[in-house]
Structures are given as structure tokens and as C-alpha cells.
Amino acid sequence: MTLTASGVLMNASPASAASCWGDSCSNKDPQATGCTAGSFTQTGVDVWARTTFGGLDRYAGRLELRGSNNCGSVQWARFTPVYGGFTYKIRAEQPETNYNTDWQQAGEWVTAWSNQIHSPRKCVRAHIVTQTWLRHLDYYTECL
């Protein structure tokens, strides 16, 4: 029975309709599930990478721990690079339980995000490893 004529049936737009809630969102893409609606940065850290032999580490971009309540207290990592010359992998981690999302690999100049973790009680942090033929560097956000 469809009640569209009376205006009772309302369809949510695909951009705002979340396809998961709570723990069913864990290790799923926040954009694909619609969990990015209303998202915000909880904390962040500057990331550096060594791209020249004998040179200094260069500012590579910003690692953020993102959050949203659209799907029931979920968090994920996002990295926005500011230059090329390196690749990286990124994930969200819950250190207390050793639960980690799958690593997401990305190339130079590409903004990427990890899958998400539902964690209303235990802290989550973002983790990135910058990768060059010279050196791999690990960075973490604060655990919130």
C-alpha cells in the first residue's frame, strides 16, 4: 500500500540516508554508508614524509580523526596531502581492544579516508604510514 497521494510516504535522499547504524558500520566506508552527513574533525596531526635522499622530512599533509553521529557514534581517519612524492596507508584503530579497520592505500596527491569504527565508549585514533623508498614514517592522532 503506497500512501504517496496523501503525502504520508516520504523518501529520504540517497545522500542523507545511512545504510548502517552502530556496530554494523564498523570497517565500512563512511561515504558509501552515508555516515559522512554531519561529520566533523575531532582532532588532527601534521604529517611529514622524507622524499629526497639526505634531505629533511617535508610537511606532507594533515591526518584527522573524523566523527559523525549520523550512524551512531562512528569515527574514521582522513588524510589530505599537500604535495606528492610519497604513498601512504591509513586506518582507524581502537588501541584498547586492538581492533583496527582495514588499511586503505593511497597514492600521491590523493585525499583518502579509512573505514569507520563504532566506538561510543572506547577511544579511537587515526594512524597513517607515509611510504617512500627512503623512509616510512608512522603518525597517530590523539585517541578520543
Model pLDDT for residues 49-84, shown as the tens digit of each residue: 887 766 778 899 999 999 999 999 999 999 999 988
pLDDT in tens, 119-139: 999 999 999 999 988 889 999
E strands, 18-73, are: 40-49, 58-68
Q: Which residues contact 98 (CB under 8 A, 6 or more apart)?
A: none
> What was the pLDDT predicted at 4?
41
Lowest mean pLDDT among 21-30, 78-87, 95-104, 120-129: 78-87
Contact of 117 with 26, CB cutoff 8 Å: yes
**Distance (Å, whole) CA 48 – CA 69:** 30
